[in-house]
Amino acid sequence: MKKILLVYNPVSGHAAFRTRLDTVIENFQRRGIFLSVYRTQADDNSNFADCVKLSGADGIIAAGGDGTLHAVINWLKKNSLDLPVGVIGSGTSNDFAAHLNIDAENYFDAIAQGRTRPVDLGLVNGSEYFINVASAGVFTSIAHEVGSRLKNFLGKSAYYLRGLGELRNFKAVTFDITADGRKFSVEAFLFLVLNSPSVAGFKKISSAAQIDDGLLDLLLLKKNSPRSLMTVARKILAGSTVDDDENIFSLRARTFEISSAAALTGDLDGEAGDPLPLRIETCRHALNFFC
């Protein structure tokens, strides 16, 4: 019998996954899968590796948002645990799950059949992995400043409402970039280093980003007028890609070194990361993902 460890975040999204737990267990059991459960803690998950080993799991499923998936991947990698990973999106932001177009019923079948694909990860400063996006600049602090109550009540709208309130305070900074040995200096409001093209609830910001090509895609929103900024925003809201827009600086590489004289903190999959400078490298096919 296949064994799966379900890792769920009790406060993710609308904090409603607990009401789905019995249905999820039933779906796994109906497919001949024995399910054990790990409930994440806000302060200490140091026993996670021991729970994985004791469970004898053949795979890990993260139930939560991008932040929960990010945490699970890092706990596994930092404890040298090589298991396939999947996700049941139930957070405020579920960008990676959205990119894979995960459908719950079909997804249970994929897990039961052991269907996986290799995906890339990004590694920041040699210590922290991300699966979807690394960023810094305006907007990137919003996810950390918006309270969990507001996020659970309004969902993604909480981020956008906070962002609109900050428009008048937008200030560009100079980013110094080395990409596979090539050097650039760009005055911009923010940068995104993408593994998948799905960011902030929008499924196709980049036309080039792929999760298994051994490359990461860098997008910078260049310093420009409010009118130009709104042009880019309209494209994103319409579901269009923006990597070829004149207001966007874009390139692809295996490694990036990004610095700025401004005091900025990186964001990894919606979670606070290291302050700049950042060294970001692609770890090709570093994870097997249920799909």
Which residues are catalytic, by number?
271
Are 76 and 84 within 8 A, CB to CB? Answer: no
Cα separation of 234 and 230, whole Å?
6
Sign of CA dihedral 221, 157, 14, 26: negative
Query: Exposed (0-12), middle (13-18) or buried (19+): which is 285, by Cβ within 10 Å?
Result: middle
What would the two tokens of residue 13 be?
């999204």
Residues 6+ apart with CB under 8 A from 210: 196
Are 280 and 251 within 8 A, CB to CB? Answer: no
In 3D, which of 181, 253, 194 has the Cα closest to residue 220?
194
